[in-house]
Amino acid sequence: MRTMELWLGALGCAGLVAALYAALLLAPAAVGESVAQRILYLHAPSAFAAYGCIFVVAIASALYLWKRSAAADRVAVAAAEVGVLMCTLVLVTGSIWGRARWGAWWTPDPRLTLTLILWAIYLSYVLLRAFGGDDDEIAPYAAVLGIFGVLAIPAIRVSARLMKGMHPSVLAPREGGGSGLADPYMKLAFWGGAVAMLLVAACLVLLRTRLERAERETMALRRVADAAEGVAG
């Protein structure tokens, strides 16, 4: 387990560094865009990682409900937290880009709205686990939330499109920047970054899963110790 995390982490970080190098220095500027456009090379990969995490939460939750596997539950917890982290990254980078390009900290872009809502859903998952009570008790409830979250995605996309009618059309940040991913360095920065971010996310999820396992074992041991103390004392 540890070796895999190490490799994933190392590869991921190396990949990110390479991708960011490509993004900042090698890739040509996109037509009609400023330097700030380059933040896309962090924004889009984070989005990939965020969705990856969300699907992991859904699958792990379904597995938990089906098999009542404690391991699946731990993975769901980890993936939800990393997912919130990644969504935060998407929102922040998206906001910065929006500010640089259109002068507004928030744009009613459907994809950004989708990410915001997902951020809120998985944040509520994290809060439920933090404040809801014992892990054993709330695991099934959290699992249902994890599954509902994924089911909400199509609904959110469709309804966000409904909202577009309200505002003057805002240029949605198309994949690859304003003019498409023409240049090979752009492709490298974009896709390389996506893969690298996924690796980093995977590493974080694995680390967090292991941490969760250690936490639960410690709590169980503590309870046993308390019980023994109660009998002896």
Partner 1 sequence: MRATLAIVRKDLRIEWRTRETATTLAVLGVLLVTVLAFAHDPDPEAAPLFVPAVLWSAMVFTGLLGVERGFLLEREQDCLAGLRGAPIDPTALYAAKLVVNVLLLGATHAVVVPLTGLFLHVDLFPVLAPLALVLLLGTVGFAAVATLFAFVTVRLRSRQVMLPLLVLPLLIPLLIAAVKATEAVLGAGLAGARDALGVLVSFDVIFVTAGALLFPAIVRD
Partner 2 sequence: MERASGSALVSAPALEARGVSRDFGGRPVLRGVDLSLAAGETVVLLGPNGAGKSTLLRILALLLSPRDGTILIQGRDARAARPPALRHIGYLGHESACYPDLTARENLEFYAELFGVDDASRIDELLEWTGLAEAAGRPLRTCSRGMVQRVGLARALLHRPSVLLLDEPFTGLDPAASEALDERLRAVRAEGCAVLAAVHDVPRAAALATRVLVLHAGRIVWTSPAVVPDAAGLAEIYRARAGGRG
Kindly indicate which of the ranges 82-90, 92-100, 116-124, 222-230 contains the residues binding partner 2, using the contact rule CB under 8 A.
222-230
| Binding of residue 127 to partner 2 (CB under 8 A) | no
Phi, psi of 174 (to 5 degrees): -75, 155
Smallest distance, Å, CB 126 to partner 1? Answer: 11
The whole-angstrom separation of Cα 90 and Cα 116 is 9
Identify what 200 binds: partner 1, partner 2, none; CB under 5 to 8 Å per kind: none
Q: Are 64 and 73 in contact (CB under 8 A)?
A: yes
**DSSP type of residue 165:** T
The whole-angstrom separation of Cα 11 and Cα 196 is 7
Single residue of 7, 148, 219, 223 touching partner 1 by CB under 8 A: 148
Sites for partner 1 among residues 34-93 (CB under 8 A): 65
Buried-state track 18-41, b at ≥16 Cβ within 10 A, e below 16: bbbebbeeebeebeebeeebbbbb
How many residues bind to partner 1 according to rule CB under 8 A?
Answer: 32
Q: Compose the 96-135 pattern: x for residues touching partner 1 by CB under 8 A, - for all others.
A: ---------------------x--xx-xx--xx--xxx--
Kindly indicate which of the ranges 38-46, 96-104, 148-156, 209-217 contains the residues binding partner 1, using the contact rule CB under 8 A.
148-156
Single residue of 2, 103, 134, 166 touching partner 2 by CB under 8 A: 134
| Binding of residue 169 to partner 1 (CB under 8 A) | no
Smallest distance, Å, CB 153 to partner 1? Answer: 9
The whole-angstrom separation of Cα 72 and Cα 80 is 12
Q: Are 11 and 185 in contact (CB under 8 A)?
A: no
Buried-state track 69-90, b at ≥16 Cβ within 10 A, e below 16: eeebbbbbbbbbbbbbbbbebb
Report the 10 Å Cβ neighbour count for 15.
Answer: 20
Identify what 219 binds: partner 2, partner 1, none; CB under 5 to 8 Å per kind: partner 2
Identify what 130 binds: partner 1, partner 2, none; CB under 5 to 8 Å per kind: none
- Least Cα distance to 85 among 50, 40, 51, 37 occurs for 50
Smallest distance, Å, CB 222 to partner 2? Answer: 8
Residues binding partner 2 (CB under 8 A): 134, 219-220, 223-224, 227
